[in-house]
Structure 1
Amino acid sequence: MSANSRLTIAAHALAWIGLYQRQGHEVATSEQIGSSANTNPVVIRRLLGELRAAGLVESRRGVGAGWSLSRELKSITLLDVYEAVDPDPLFAMHRATPDPGCVVGYGIQPAMRGIYDGIEETLRRELREVTLEDVLREVLAAPR
């Protein structure tokens, strides 16, 4: 799973669990979610583990094992999900320090950092405005 699809797969899993619970089910299995997302259940379990660490889902072991939401969809934003599964910055600097004796090498990181910080803040602001309830509403309204 690519880094840029993690948010989408996580939102898919959470919306699926939320809808499944509304239909009267207590927990969803990673196999069920994986089938819906066409993704290996092992990958789903790893992602749900990250969402559990962020307090977005709970897991039950043993008989009746599975996953359930820790909060209602209307109280989970895409920013919550993004921070749970993509904690690294959206853009990264050079792995090696550029040549400080070169005018571009000296100034590139501060220049790009300012640009990237602005982009990241815009992204976070937009994600903060959308709940998983909004996402599920859009999913259910999509033409089939």
Structure 2
Amino acid sequence: MNTSHRFAVGVHIMTLLASTEGLLPSSMIAGSVNTNPAMIRRILGMLNKAGLTTASMGSTGGAMLARPAAQVSLLEIYRAVDEPGVLALHANMPNPDCEVGRCITGVLKGVIAKAENAMEAVIAGISVEDVLKDVLKSG
């Protein structure tokens, strides 16, 4: 099973940017995430393309939020860094000669759509500011 960690890293980056005034270099973000700066720059590029962050290049450069944390939902981050599809169908087509195999794909498509819609509805109602508040309470 292929699991992406980009959403968690994207939320981490955005929350860190929300907790900081001004530009934050990718090396500092990488230190917080505990990964390499190249991976952070890739995800920052996705967030930037989605209009969620702005960046300044160079030795004094870095990233910052493009708009207030309260106005950025986790759904926006998810859509910026991950391809939809937490759940997936069979890797191989089921047997069409089997009563279950013949119909299961259509049934599962409906189930998966409902599950993904529910997940998206939940994260759409959570902002980066909400996450930052929870982080500060937990610390």
TM over 0.5: yes
Is 1:46 equivalent to 2:42 in the alignment? yes
Query: Unmatched 5+ residue regions in structure 1?
Result: none
Contact 1:17 1:69 in 2 (8 A): yes
Is 1:99 equivalent to 2:95 in the alignment? yes
Deviation per CA, 1:61-104: give whole Å up to 9, x if none.
13521111111100000111111111231111123322222212
Structure-1-length-normalised TM-score: 0.88
Contact 1:77 1:132 in 2 (8 A): yes
Structure 1: distance between partners of 2:101 and 2:49: 39
Structure 2: distance between partners of 1:41 and 1:73: 23
Structure 2: distance between partners of 1:3 and 1:62: 33
Structure 2: distance between partners of 1:100 and 1:59: 52
Query: Unmatched 5+ residue regions in structure 2?
Result: none
Partner of 2:122, secondary structure, is: helix
Structure 2: distance between partners of 1:43 and 1:137: 26
Give the letter aligned to residue 6 of structure 2.
R
Is 1:65 equivalent to 2:78 in the alignment? no
What is aligned with 1:110?
106
Is 1:130 equivalent to 2:129 in the alignment? no
What is aligned with 2:15?
15
Would the alpha carbon gap of residues 81 and 20 (structure 1) be closer, same or farther in structure 2, given more than 3 Å must change? same
Structure-2-length-normalised TM-score: 0.91
Match of 2:25 among 9, 16, 29: 29
Deviates more, 1:134-143 or 1:62-71: 62-71
Moved >3 Å (runs of 4+):
none
Structure 2: distance between partners of 1:125 and 1:110: 23
RMSD: 1.5
Percent of aligned pairs with the same amino acid? 32
Deviates more, 1:132-141 or 1:106-115: 106-115
> Aligned pairs, how many?
138
For residue 53 of structure 1, report the CA deviation from its aligned partner: 1.3
Deviates more, 1:57-66 or 1:28-37: 57-66
